[in-house]
């Protein structure tokens, strides 16, 4: 049986959307929350929506122990607290996939604006906070939660992945491409998360204007696989 995919903050919109897509693709998910009860409730909703879904609701700390690659899908406001809670949980060799976007909404500002993060990006802040030996990979900032949650919605977009080691990006790309319609693109070292995280307020602004759920796609890339 395949390893479960741990999702920290799995009761939120992005985490729950990913959980639906991965379970629908046949992968088990370890859905984490600060409350075991809320995690189990969210897991139950996924089992109801996705026939045959293998999903467990757990405390975040327990979810994070279930596999090497852990997804963090909390709002920016909660990122630090979550990383503090995982400090004694994450082990060297694990990969933390940070999906956080520093929207100004975190401080009651607009979701079409962002906050400056001292380290350059939320992902670089995460890299500073995880235990030594844990690699941070930034990804999934531009995939809309409503689109993920809507089983009828066909995805057709790219996921830009930033991290310092290509091998780490490749492992995360494999999980992302389990979801049909998503193509993983190597967007460079972790510092490029400064730019990639900004795509979210841009897309939010465009979505409001066009009443759409826009995604991003790069044109002109060769077909070749750049992960191997």
| Interface stretch with a second copy, choices 17-25, 44-52, 97-105, 189-197 (CB under 8 A) | 189-197
84: number of CA atoms within 13 Å, CB side? 6
209: Cβ contacts below 8 Å, ≥ 6 apart = none
118 touches a second copy by CB under 8 A:
no
Q: Does 45 bind a second copy (CB under 8 A)?
A: no
Q: Which stretch binds a second copy (CB under 8 A): 46-54, 90-98, 170-178, 187-195?
A: 187-195
| Stretch of 33-41, 51-59, 82-90, 197-205 lying at the interface with a second copy (CB under 8 A) | 197-205
Q: Could you tell me if 71 and 97 are in contact, meaning their C-beta atoms sit under 8 angstroms apart?
A: yes
Contact residue for a second copy among 80, 85, 119, 198 (CB under 8 A): 198
Each as own residue / partner, the long-range contacts of residues 56-59 (CB below 8 Å, 24 or more positions apart, any chain) are 56/4, 56/28, 56/29, 56/30, 56/31, 57/10, 57/31, 57/33, 58/30, 58/31, 58/32, 58/33, 59/32, 59/33, 59/34, 59/35
Only segment of 24-32, 74-82, 123-131, 207-215 that touches a second copy (CB under 8 A): 207-215
Token pair 């490029």 is found at 192
Query: Can you tell me the distance from the alpha carbon of 91 to that of 57, in angstroms, rounded to the nearest whole number?
Result: 21
- Per-residue interface string for the shown chain with a second copy, residues 134-173, x marking contact by CB under 8 A: -------------x--------xx--x-------------
Among residues 37, 132, 152, 211, which is the contact residue for a second copy, using CB under 8 A? 211
Q: What is the three-class DSSP state of 61?
A: helix
Say whether residue 199 binds a second copy (CB under 8 A): yes
Decide: is 112 part of the binding site for a second copy (CB under 8 A). yes
Asked if residue 199 lies in contact with residue 160, where contact means CB atoms within 8 angstroms, the answer is: yes
Cβ closest to a second copy, residue 85 vs residue 186: 186
Q: Which residues bind a second copy (CB under 8 A)?
A: 112-114, 147, 156-157, 160, 185-188, 191-192, 194-196, 198-199, 201-203, 205-206, 209-222, 226
């Amino acid at each position: 049986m395949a390893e479960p995919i741990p999702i920290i903050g799995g009761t939120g919109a992005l985490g729950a959307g990913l959980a639906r897509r991965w379970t629908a693709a046949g992968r088990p998910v370890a859905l984490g929350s600060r409350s075991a009860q809320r995690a189990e409730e969210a897991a139950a909703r996924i089992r109801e929506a996705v026939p045959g879904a293998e999903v467990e609701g757990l405390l975040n700390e327990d979810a994070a122990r279930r596999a090497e690659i852990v997804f963090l899908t909390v709002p920016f406001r909660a990122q630090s607290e979550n990383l503090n809670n995982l400090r004694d949980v994450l082990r060297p060799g694990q990969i933390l996939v940070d999906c956080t976007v520093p929207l100004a909404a975190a401080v009651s500002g607009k979701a079409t604006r962002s906050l400056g993060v001292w380290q350059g990006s939320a992902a670089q802040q995460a890299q500073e906070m995880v235990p030594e030996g844990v690699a941070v990979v930034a990804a999934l900032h531009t995939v809309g939660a409503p689109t993920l949650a809507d089983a009828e919605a066909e995805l057709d977009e790219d996921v830009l992945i930033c991290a310092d080691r290509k091998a780490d990006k490749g492992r995360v790309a494999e999980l992302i491409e389990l979801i049909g319609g998503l193509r993983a693109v190597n967007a460079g070292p972790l510092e490029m998360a400064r730019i990639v995280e900004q795509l979210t307020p841009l897309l939010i602004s465009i979505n409001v204007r066009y009443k759409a759920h826009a995604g991003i796609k790069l044109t002109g890339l060769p077909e070749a696989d750049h992960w191997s």
